[in-house]
Structure formats: C-alpha cells, structure tokens
C-alpha cells in the first residue's frame, strides 16, 4: 500500500498558502506516494479540489487526513501557529512524520508539546544551507515573495511615483529606495524596485554581498564598521556598541531616501534595531519605511507588527506574513521545496527516516517522544534553569 501524504488546511489567521499544490502531487506520485488533501485546503491559493483529483490526489475531511496520513505536510506546524494549532495536538500520533515551518528556536513550549505526541517534526527553518539542500530551501523561496511585496507596499504608500518621467508639466525625478539587509528578500526588493524605475542603493553588514548588490544594478553603501557575516551566509548577532556605530553612520544615509525597505534578521533571534526613533525623525516627511522584519520585532524601533505608524510624517509599515499575500506562487514554490525534501524520506512508496543524512539530522526537532535537535535541546536546558518568576528578564 502506497504511503499517504496528508495536507491539512492551514488554520493560522489569514494564512492562504497550502503546503502542496497539484503540481507537487506529480513529483510525489513518482515516489510511490499518494496525497490526501483536506477538502478546500487549496482554494485560497487558487487550487480547487478538482485540480488535485486530476493529479491522483483525494480530498477528505480534516480528521481523516490526520488519521490516514503517515506524513503530514503543513505550511505552519504548531510552533508557527501556537494559537489555533493547539487544536491539532490530539490528532498527531507516534511514528507520524510532520514537516513544515515551526519556529523551533523560539517556540520551545510547542517543541516540547510536539515531542509529547510521539510524532517526528522536521522544521523547514533548520534545513542546512548546503548545495544539496538548495531545492528544499523554503526560507529563500518565501523571502523572494516578501522582497517583492515590500516594494509594492512602499510604492503604494509613497506620495511620489517610482520612475523618472518627462512630462509636459516638467520632469519628475525618480524615487530613491534604500534596502537595508541584502539576503534573498533584499536582492528581490532591489530588482523589483529597479524594474519600477527607482534609484536603488543597499547596505548589509556582510561586506561580501557588495558584488551581489552591484550585479543587480544598485549602489552598495559602505559604512565604517566591521563585517558581521556568520555561518551559512547569514548575518550574525553583534554587540550593542557595533549597532550604535552603525546607526550613527546610517542616519545621514536615511535622510536622503524616499523609501527604506528593512529586511535584516538573524535566525532564531529578535531582529536588530537598525533604525531608531531619532533616525526616523531625521528622514523627510512623506518618506516610507517598510519593515519586513516586523514579525521578529522589526529593524525600526517604531515598527508595530501588522500596523502602520506615522511619526513626524514618516510612515512605518510593519507587514506580516507577506508570502500569504501572493498565495498561488508562494504555494507553488513551497510545494516544490516540500516535494524535494520528501524525496529523502519516501523511497519506493515506503517511509524511511535516515538519521545519518545531514539534512534530516539538522532539521529534525522531535523524534520518538523526545526533542532531539541539539540547538533546541540547549535552549530548552537554558530555559529550565531560569528561576521561577524571572522568565521576563530573559530574551
């Protein structure tokens, strides 16, 4: 009997993505697996049940999906959906394999709760950045969507247009866009802003990205601070003295900008504050900040997740869950990443969890009723040593 891969509908508020699309079903069918999708799970992303059924999948009620599936593919597992996701805890079972986003380095309570179910949780955020895993890199896929959407937010909020135009009424100068943080989201923001006609510059704490910035037609802004490149190409956390020097030099740069798109984030950590209240006050009224690090606290001190704040005439946008604004393409990318990952655990229609595989070993959070991921175990151990009543003084 073929292994069953279940796809529940997402329950996180306003989440419109679906973990697997009809296109992904083709790849999974070749592995000898069948897909059981919750009725209507793909509709918000533009994928009707009939499209899945045309690819050999079957639509069923939610309880049947949980009951029948050996593997569950989700956009948001419990850690990334700690409110509504708790309703699913009784439905997980020992030996079941769950794959999706899970915020494993911060959702420690949820990690422990998942372990108690006996299910094996693989968190997509922990997939190592190695060549073999590039096709499974959900974070990069979703960051591409976020960078694109951030530019749209900025363009609509700015009281100017992006491109330079020659008109009978005179010349309209191009808007100036500054991208702060040049990972995948930042690079996509640069290219999208340039396509709209803006003059784009960018900065990143990792000096090595200068060539990437210039290769997509933007100017790299250089500050007199050391590089802060960490493992795997991510930025690493620095001390407050470093960020203070950085902010002092950044103030003059921000004063010249119409739109600032902030994307700087450190995995599993609160986003660094790179734009202070005083820096915002030095910007021109009517300018816009789009802080796509809002879900991790934001790069701007005035950012409020999911809200727009106006301070001294500067609009600070804190959009959240940006990929869900474009659920069709976001789901296509997410589904392709999941299908590539499942090739490691589905062989000839059977489920095989190879704990010697680096990708599985690094991203597996829970297994056999235990939390097994080393970094998560360390964080849980640290949390258990915090004296009662003092949890609030630790971050």
Residues annotated as catalytic (active site), given as ranges:
129, 134, 137, 140, 234
Quote the DSSP letter at residue 161.
-
Stretch (H or E) spanning 184: helix 184-195
What residues have CB less than 8 Å from 41, skipping those under 6 apart?
A: 7, 8, 9, 10, 18
Secondary structure class of 171 (helix, strand, coil): strand
Crossing angle of the two packed helices 138-157 and 327-342, in degrees rounded to 10: 170
- The CA-based angle 21-24-29, given to 5 degrees, is 125
**Is the Cα dihedral 288, 292, 297, 300 positive or negative?**
negative
- Decide the pairing of beta strands 170-172 and 165-167: antiparallel
* Beta carbons within 10 angstroms of residue 352's beta carbon: 11
What does each C-alpha distance from 2 to 71, 121, 179, 206, 346 come to in angstroms? 12, 21, 48, 47, 10
């Amino acid at each position: 009997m073929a292994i069953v891969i279940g796809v529940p509908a997402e329950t996180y508020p306003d989440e419109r993505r679906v973990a697997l699309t009809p296109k992904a079903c083709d790849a999974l069918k070749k592995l000898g697996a069948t897909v059981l999708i919750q009725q209507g799970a793909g509709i918000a992303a533009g994928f009707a049940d009939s499209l899945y059924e045309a690819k050999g999948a079957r639509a069923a009620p939610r309880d049947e999906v949980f009951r029948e599936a050996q593997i569950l593919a989700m956009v948001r597992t419990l850690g990334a959906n700690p409110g509504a996701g708790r309703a699913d805890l009784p439905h997980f079972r020992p030996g079941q394999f769950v794959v999706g986003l899970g915020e494993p380095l911060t959702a420690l309570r949820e990690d422990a709760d998942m372990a108690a179910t006996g299910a094996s949780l693989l968190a997509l955020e922990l997939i190592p950045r190695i060549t073999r895993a590039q096709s499974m890199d959900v974070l990069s896929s979703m960051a591409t969507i976020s960078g694109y959407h951030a530019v749209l937010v900025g363009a609509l909020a700015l009281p100017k247009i992006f491109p330079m135009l020659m008109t009978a009424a005179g010349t309209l100068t191009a808007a100036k866009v500054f991208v702060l943080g040049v990972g995948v989201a930042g690079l996509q923001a640069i290219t999208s802003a340039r396509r709209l006609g803006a003059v784009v510059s960018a900065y990143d704490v990792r000096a090595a990205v200068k060539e990437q910035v210039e290769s997509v037609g933007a100017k790299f802004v250089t500050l007199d601070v050391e590089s802060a490149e960490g493992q795997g190409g991510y930025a690493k956390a620095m001390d407050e003295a470093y960020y203070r020097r950085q902010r002092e030099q950044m103030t003059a740069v921000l004063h010249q900008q119409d739109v600032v798109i902030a994307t700087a984030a450190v995995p599993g950590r609160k986003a660094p504050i790179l734009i202070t209240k005083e820096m915002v006050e030095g910007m021109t009224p009517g300018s816009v900040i789009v802080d796509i690090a809002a879900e991790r606290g934001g790069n701007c001190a005035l950012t409020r997740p999911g809200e727009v704040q106006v301070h001294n005439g500067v609009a600070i946008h804190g959009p959240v869950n940006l990929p869900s604004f474009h659920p069709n393409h976001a789901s296509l990318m997410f589904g392709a990443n999941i299908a590539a990952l499942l090739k490691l655990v589905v062989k000839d229609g059977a489920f095989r969890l190879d704990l010697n595989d680096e990708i599985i070993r690094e991203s597996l959070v829970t297994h056999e009723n235990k939390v097994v991921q080393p970094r998560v175990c360390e964080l849980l151990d640290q949390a258990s040593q915090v004296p009662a009543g003092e949890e609030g003084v630790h971050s």
